[in-house]
Amino acid sequence: MQLIPLQPRHVPAIARLHCDALAGDFLPRLGPSFLATLYGSMLELDAAFGFVTPLDADDVSGFVIASFDSRTLFSRVIARRFFRLTAAVATAMLRQPSLISHVVETFFYPSKEGKDMPSAELLVIAVRSEDRSKGIGAALIGRLDEAMRQRKVSGYKVTVSAANETAQRFYRKLGFVLTSDFIMYRNTWNVFVREVT
Number of domains observed in the structure of the chain: 1
More confident residue, 24 or 171: 171
**Mean pLDDT on 102-112:** 63
25-41 pLDDT, tens per residue? 888 888 898 899 999 99
Q: Tell me, what CATH number does 33's domain have?
A: 3.40.630.30
In sequence order, the 6+-apart residues with CB closer than 8 A to the CB of 91 are 31, 33, 34
The single-letter code of the amino acid at 127 is: V
In sequence order, the 6+-apart residues with CB closer than 8 A to the CB of 76 are 45, 47
Q: Give the pLDDT confidence score for residue 107 in this predicted structure.
A: 60
Q: How much of the chain exceeds pLDDT 90, in percent?
A: 59
Range of the domain at 69: 4-195
Q: Which of 96-100, 120-124, 146-150, 171-175 has the lowest mean pLDDT?
A: 96-100
DSSP letter at 113 equals: S
d(CA 116, CA 97): 35
Following CA atoms 75, 76, 82, 84 in sequence, which dihedral angle do they give, to the nearest 10 degrees? Answer: -130
Instruction: List the beta strands (DSSP E) in the chain.
Output: 4-5, 49-54, 60-67, 121-127, 155-161, 177-184, 187-195
pLDDT over 70 (residue 55): yes
**Mean pLDDT on 130-155:** 95
Q: Give the pLDDT confidence score for residue 15 in this predicted structure.
A: 96
pLDDT over 80 (residue 2): yes
Q: Give the pLDDT confidence score for residue 136 in this predicted structure.
A: 96
